[in-house]
């Protein structure tokens, strides 16, 4: 049994255009925009919206090769994935693999905010794309947040 999943780290939502989408979350829903970041490895621009202890991750493709571009082409905009927070990403991946769960990433890669992230294959999760997300050690996280503040 996986016991090291702590909370919903974020919910990923695929959008066509961040700029036109963000005001709905900030001006109408009254939520706080934490920052916008480009994740080159995923070919996406990501906006984080704070809600309570968790976040919404709005994802906009920056190239047609991006998984988000392909997702929107196939299914349209909408909920793309759910991310669970863990402190032991690799350990959880090894465990899941041993249980016969199909993984997209057998080794975590660097995502937004310096998090280590890995996706489980929807074939093994009733078609829900699930992400494991391990926050960086606290000192690194503060550094990253400071950088983000300056770039906003």
Quick one: tokens of 41? 């490895």
Helix (H) or strand (E) holding 47: strand 44-51
Candidates 29, 73, 4, 45; CA nearest to 12 is 45
Does residue 12 touch Zn ion according to CB under 5 A? Answer: yes
Instruction: Determine if 83 is a binding residue for Zn ion (CB under 5 A).
Output: yes
Q: Which window, 12-20, 66-74, 119-127, 141-149, contacts Zn ion (CB under 5 A)?
A: 12-20
Q: How many CA atoms lie within 13 A of 87 on its CB side?
A: 5
With binding defined as CB under 5 A, does residue 59 bind Zn ion? no
SS3 (DSSP) at 75: helix
Q: Taking CB under 5 A as the criterion, which residues in 94-133 touch Zn ion?
A: 131
Are the C-beta atoms of residues 57 and 112 closer than 8 Å to each other? yes
Our CB check for Zn ion shows the closer of 34 and 150 to be: 34
Least distance CB 57 / Zn ion (angstroms) = 5
Contact region with Zn ion (CB under 5 A), list: 10-18, 19-27, 34-42, 140-148: 10-18
**Between vectors from CA 66 to CA 138 and to CA 7, what angle results, nearest 5°?**
35
**Stretch near Zn ion under the rule CB under 5 A, chosen from 21-29, 76-84, 100-108, 121-129:** 76-84
Judged by the rule CB under 5 A, the positions of this chain that interact with Zn ion are 12, 57, 83, 131
């Amino acid at each position: 049994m996986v016991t090291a999943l702590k909370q919903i780290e974020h919910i990923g939502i695929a959008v066509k255009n961040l700029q036109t989408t963000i005001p709905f979350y900030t001006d109408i829903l009254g939520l706080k925009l934490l920052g916008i970041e480009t994740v080159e490895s995923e070919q996406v621009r990501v906006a984080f919206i704070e809600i309570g202890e968790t976040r919404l991750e709005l994802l906009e493709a920056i190239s047609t090769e991006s998984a988000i571009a392909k997702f929107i082409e196939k299914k349209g905009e909408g909920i793309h994935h759910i991310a669970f927070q863990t402190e032991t990403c690799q350990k959880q991946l090894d465990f899941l693999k041993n249980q016969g769960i199909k993984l997209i990433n057998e080794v975590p890669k660097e995502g937004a905010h310096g998090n280590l992230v890995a996706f489980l294959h929807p074939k093994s999760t009733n078609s829900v794309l699930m992400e494991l997300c391990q926050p960086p050690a606290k000192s690194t996280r503060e550094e990253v947040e400071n950088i983000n503040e300056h770039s906003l």
